[in-house]
Every structure is written in C-alpha cells, then in structure tokens.
Chains A and B, each alone.
Chain A
Amino acid sequence: MSLVSLDQVHKYYGENHVLKGVDLKVEAGEVVSIIGRSGSGKSTLLRCMNGLEEYQKGAVIVDNQSVENDDYKLRLLSRSVGMVFQNFNLFPHMTVGENVMLATKLVMKKSSADSEILAKELLEKVGLADKFSAYPGNLSGGQQQRVAIARSLAMSPKVLLCDEITSALDPELVGEVLKVLEKLKQEGMTLILVTHEMNFARDVGDRVVFMNQGRVWETGQSDEVFSNPQTEELQSFLAAVR
C-alpha cells in the first residue's frame, strides 16, 4: 500500500468546488512536487492530507490511517505527517529549542533530557546548532524556516508536507532551505512539496504533479514532464513561469 493515497477527493468551500476528484498515490521515499497556477487547489490538496481541511467526498489514507475529521485520530496522524508552512508559524514566545521540543514533550511524552538531545541533533542537521537558545524573532527568514523543518522532524514523521516554504524568503535565503530538503531526500524522507522552484522540482523531485482547475491535470517523472509536457495547459504554464 502507498504511504499516501488519495482516491477521488472532492472539496467544496461553500459553492466553490475546489478539488474535483483528485487521485494521487505517493510511495515511501518519493519526492513529489505539486505545481500549478494560483488558485488551482494545491494548498487545499496538501491540507487535506493532514486533516487541516475537511473534504466532502472520496478517501485520503496516509500511513494506513484514514484522514477524517476527528480530533483524536488527527492527533495520532500528526505522528506520521509533518507540515512546514509558507510563513513558518514558529511560536514567537519560545526559544528555538523550546519550539522544537514542545511536541516531543507534550505529544510524544519524551523526557526533557531526551527531548533536548533530539532537538540539538535536529538543529545540527538543519545547520542551526548554535541557535538553540535564540528567539525566532532574532533569526533570518531562512533560519526560521529551517527551525520549522526541525520542529516537524522532531515528531519523526513518515512524510513531510511543504507548502511553498521558500516563497516568503529573500532570494538569497532560498538556497539554504532547499539544501536541507535535499539532505532529507538523501536520508529517504518522503516529501510532498507545493513549489514555485521549477529548477528544484526538476533536479531534486522524482515526480511532478501539475494541478489545474482542481484536478491532477498531468503527472509524470520530473525530467519528462519538464522536457516534454503533454497538455497545452502545462505547456503554457511552464512557458509563463520560465
């Protein structure tokens, strides 16, 4: 069974039919990039995978758990699915270390000592070992985003969802975040990224999903999709973003 599996998912915001029957399977260890025009439903799709949004029809199954609107089940799911946001959503009143350790203590019920060891390890991994006691407000955007990644990793998720995590960053800070993602890929982490970084999607991503009008319009291996787009919509989209 695939790690993430969506079957004919429909989502409405009131009258607005945003997802119109999405099918998608992601295997463990895969890096999948989701691209598409603004408003095509990329964020919504991602947020249906961890229960931040409800869907009205179809099925979403992640790590053998059905994603339903049930607080308890969603809490269990949070151990399998991590999420990194466009604007970081760090807790500004806590230090970097406290941000990373919050859930390990409260949700995983690890001891303070164990949490601290883990947090330091993860911060080391994202290149911020020296920022353990700093406050998020004193970090650059790129650093904050790397803390957010470390915070998600602390739950040792099986899949990490990233929604345009470099869009709020100054161009010169994008690289340091993408480098962390590349490292995660090498370690075998499953990544699902909504992204505008076409170069990254092509070079690092295994597979590309092109969303259009609430549907998976075209999908395939990264290099093929970029070098040989099949549909007219994808061709014009790629022409526009290049």
Chain B
Amino acid sequence: MVQFTDWDILKNLLLAARWTILLSLLAFAGGGLFGLILTLLRSMRSKIITRIIQTYVEIFQGIPLLMQLFLTFFGLSLIGIEVDAWSAAVISLTLFSSAFFHDIWRGCIEALPKGQWEACRTLGLTYLQTMRYVIVPQAMRMSIAPTVGFSVQIVKGTALASVIGFVELTKAGTMINNAVFQPFKVFAMVAVLYFLICFPLSVLARHLEKKNHVAR
C-alpha cells in the first residue's frame, strides 16, 4: 500500500480545490448572466413572462440541488446529448444560481420605496428611463452584499458535483479517504479548505451589508 504523508493528502486536496474554485466561478458567471437576463425579461412587465419566470424560480428553489444535478445528467443524455459530469455540473449549477440571483435582484428592485417610482412618474420619465437612471443604480448598490453572500452558497453547492463523479474537493476527499482510511483527518482538512474559501466571502458580504445600512 502506498504511504500518504499529511503533506501528500493536503497537496492532493489543494489540487482538487482548483476545480471547486473554477466550477464556482463558472456557475457564478453563468448564473449571474442568466439571472440578469431573467431580471431584464421580467422588467418588461408582461404577465405571461412574469408567471413563467416565477414558476422557474419556484421549481429551482423547491427541488434539491442534488436532484437537479441528477435530472440534468440523465435528462440531457435522454434527449441525445451525452454530457460528462463536468458539463452537467456547470449547467445545473448555472440554472440553480440564476434562479437565486434573479430572486435576489428582483427583491432589491422591489425593496425600493414606491415613492421613487411615483416621483419619476410625476416628472414624466418613461418606464425605461425610470429603470435606467433611478431604480437600477440604487438596486445595484443594494444587491452587492446579498450577491456576494450567495456566492458562498455556490461554492458549497459545487460539493454536490462530487456525487455525479466530478472530482473536486469533496470527491477528492472521499477518494483519498478510501486510500488512507483516516476519515477524521481527511474530512477535517476538506472542511478547512472550504472554510478558507467561504469565510472571507461571508465576511466581505457582512461588511458590505453594514456599509449599506450606514449609507441609508
């Protein structure tokens, strides 16, 4: 049997953590972009579009992320698209985050006082002008903290990609554990690495939130 030193374990975990970070970044970018499109579509104020987007959000927030991964993985191959674990993970994490991002951003837009809309109406601004000059700039400022906060959820979400066989930090942990049989040590190390990625983001989100409160 191969002998693993602690340093070997850590090195392998760190190598795998790169994939956790890359997957998180892709999901953040993809989910952000798609969530933005959803938010723009919804701001067209069409009843049907709003209803469809609401249902979309409810579905993605009402089904376990793990189940979403399975459905993407098996669903895509069903319609003839063979996907590897990597693409399935990116796709489902993107869809998952887009629903949450949309929800966060819509919440920020709706949190603005009604008076802002009314003031714009009495000044004769069009809907798009109101959005562009008054609503979006304020909503954007408000949304930074919860957006950073949600990025922590994305990082943690990537851990589930291990279940469909994508080798990131968690999967690497289980694989290494199967070789060295030191579950306490290995999973503690895995947890610490996640903590090192997530905790700074959490602190940043909290700091931004406080700044927001002071500003208002």
Interface on A for B, CB 8 Å cutoff? 50-52, 71, 74-79, 81-83, 85, 87, 89-93, 102-103, 106-107, 137, 151-152, 155
Contacts and interface: CB of A to CB of B under 8 A. Distances in A.
A93 B141 contact: yes
Nearest to A79: B124
Contacts of B118: 52, 83, 85, 89
B127 A82 contact: no
Given A85-B115, A89-B113, A106-B129, A152 B138 contact: no
Interface in B97-150: 113, 115-116, 118-119, 121-127, 129, 133-134, 137-138, 141
A202 B197 CA distance: 67
A103 B141 contact: no
Contacts of A77: 124
A159 to B, nearest CB: 12
A77 B124 CA distance: 8
Interface residues of B, number: 20
| Residue in B119, B123, B126, B133 with the greatest tally of chain A CB atoms within 10 Å | B123
B126 A75 contact: yes
Contacts of B134: 91, 102
A74 B215 CA distance: 34
A73 B12 CA distance: 67
Contacts of B138: 91-93
Contacts of A81: 122
Contacts of A79: 124
B122 A78 contact: yes
B98 to A, nearest CB: 26
User: Which 8 residue pairs of A and B lie closest in terms of their CB atoms, listed nearest first?
Assistant: A78-B124, A89-B115, A103-B123, A89-B119, A83-B122, A107-B124, A75-B124, A93-B137
Contacts of A137: 215-216
Contacts of B124: 74-79, 103, 107, 155
Contacts of B119: 85, 89-91
A87 to B, nearest CB: 6
Contacts of A151: 123
Contacts of B129: 106
Interface in B28-49: none
A52 B121 contact: yes
Contacts of B215: 137
A137 B134 CA distance: 16
A155 B121 contact: no
Contacts of B123: 78, 102-103, 107, 151-152, 155
14 contacts: A50-B122, A52-B122, A78-B121, A78-B122, A78-B123, A82-B122, A85-B118, A90-B119, A91-B119, A91-B138, A103-B124, A106-B133, A107-B124, A107-B125
A71 B116 contact: no
Nearest to B118: A52
Nearest to B117: A89
B200 to A, nearest CB: 28
Contacts of A103: 123-125
Contacts of A50: 122
Nearest to A90: B119
A223 B119 CA distance: 33
A13 to B, nearest CB: 15
A90 B113 CA distance: 11
Interface in B56-102: none
B127 to A, nearest CB: 7
A51 B127 CA distance: 15
A77 B121 CA distance: 10
